[in-house]
Amino acid sequence: MSYTADGHTPAVVADNFTKQFGTVTAVDGLELTVPAGSVYGLLGPNGAGKSTTIDALVGLVQPTEGTIRVLGMDVRASAVDIRRKTGILPDGFTPYEQLTGREHLELAGRANGVDVHTGDVLARVGLTDAADRTAGGYSRGMCQRLGLAMALVGQPDLLVLDEPGAGLDPHGIELLRRIVREERARGATVLLSTHQLAQVEAVCDVVGIVDEGQLVAEDDVETLRRTVGAEATLRIRPTGPLEPAGDLLTDVDGVAEVTVADDALVVRCVDEQRTAGVIAALERSDVALESYEKALPGLEQVFGAYTDER
């Protein structure tokens, strides 16, 4: 990538970025760094300031205070140059009703000064059959795929996707994840904003949690899980009756609660490390195990922990 010859220049740096709409502060002194070559997930509840931040990165809204540098360029001075190297799927992408899918890609290609193999790009997002139909007849999911296709035109250094899963069916979601991984493998940086936790968990290297216009946490998914220190849960199916096993586990160190659900013991441990002690206690006893499975805290818990405590 031309802007990161040293491989260390971040793709995005927001320094004290603040945006006010009248008396409402949408983003409040945001400090954000998106490493080059990463897939960065900007996660937050509705109204947290994600879309405002995304819009500011590409010059759709103007910062009230602070600076934003994208691909090494200041967004106030070089918005057009930034957009030339950035593929953007904005929140609520709206196509031109009278243009076909193919014409949208040609428009994007002309604007960015690149040749586009429209058929290839449309095939990549699964719109081959609708390539020559006007976008006015597209479903919401098809529009979203078209917006993604426009963002991919010209092999951008940075992909900025705002709620890219909106309107997509499960096949579309899977396709989106595949494309994000392919783009990362190509060397592009991907910044995606979403409130869909599964999306972030599936593809992101780094997660930034935004709440009330501020970055409240930032790390990889595993580290965030550990930071929260959330509980782990074991679902245990003994070969014999549940009650003796349940009585045994109640007294094991680190077990917070033992309940029964769906013919299994649900053992809530204070942290992941304590689950090993539970299994060891069962093995030491005469309780034989049919099966057991461990559930680690998901991003739901992490997200909840960071956004509820404020």
In the complex, minimum distance from the CB of residue 168 to other proteins, in angstroms, rounded to a whole number: 18
Tell me the window of 75-83, 169-177, 252-260, 293-301 that interacts with other proteins (CB under 8 A): 75-83
Other CB atoms closer than 10 Å to residue 129's CB: what's the count?
Answer: 11
Among residues 7, 47, 2, 5, which one has the least CA distance to residue 28? 47
Q: Which CB, 93 or 306, lies closer to other proteins?
A: 93
Decide: is 55 part of the binding site for other proteins (CB under 8 A).
yes
Residue of 27, 36, 68, 108 interacting with other proteins (CB under 8 A): 108
In the complex, minimum distance from the CB of residue 72 to other proteins, in angstroms, rounded to a whole number: 16
Q: Residues 54, 160: contact at Cβ < 8 Å?
A: yes
In the range 109-168, which residues lie near other proteins by CB under 8 A? 111-113, 147, 150
**Residue 263: CB partners within 8 Å, gap ≥ 6?**
237, 242
Among residues 300, 302, 303, 51, which one has the least CA distance to residue 164? 51
Among residues 303, 282, 304, which one has the least CA distance to residue 292? 282
In the range 245-304, which residues lie near other proteins by CB under 8 A? none
In the complex, minimum distance from the CB of residue 282 to other proteins, in angstroms, rounded to a whole number: 57
Residue of 65, 80, 120, 280 interacting with other proteins (CB under 8 A): 80
Residue of 74, 96, 174, 229 interacting with other proteins (CB under 8 A): 96
Residue of 90, 254, 277, 298 interacting with other proteins (CB under 8 A): 90
What is the Cβ-side half-sphere exposure of residue 240, based on CA atoms within 13 angstroms?
Answer: 9
Decide: is 93 part of the binding site for other proteins (CB under 8 A).
yes
Tell me the window of 57-65, 183-191, 194-202, 244-252 that interacts with other proteins (CB under 8 A): 57-65
Q: Residues 43, 202: contact at Cβ < 8 Å?
A: no
Decide: is 62 part of the binding site for other proteins (CB under 8 A).
yes
Among residues 46, 131, 150, 50, which one has the least CA distance to residue 93? 150
Q: Which CB, 60 or 266, lies closer to other proteins?
A: 60
Q: Residues 215, 17: contact at Cβ < 8 Å?
A: no
Among residues 128, 136, 199, 131, which one has the least CA distance to residue 162? 199
Q: Which CB, 112 or 301, lies closer to other proteins?
A: 112
In the complex, minimum distance from the CB of residue 83 to other proteins, in angstroms, rounded to a whole number: 4
In the complex, minimum distance from the CB of residue 190 to other proteins, in angstroms, rounded to a whole number: 16
Decide: is 58 part of the binding site for other proteins (CB under 8 A).
yes
In the complex, minimum distance from the CB of residue 277 to other proteins, in angstroms, rounded to a whole number: 54
**Residue 9: CB partners within 8 Å, gap ≥ 6?**
3, 36, 72
Q: Which CB, 54 or 282, lies closer to other proteins?
A: 54
Residue of 60, 198, 266, 296 interacting with other proteins (CB under 8 A): 60
CA-based diameter of the chain, in Å? 73
CA–CA gap between residue 64 and residue 52 (Å, rounded): 12
CA–CA gap between residue 95 and residue 136 (Å, rounded): 8
- Chain contacts with other proteins (rule: CB under 8 A): 21, 55, 58-62, 79-81, 83-84, 88, 90, 92-96, 107-108, 111-113, 147, 150
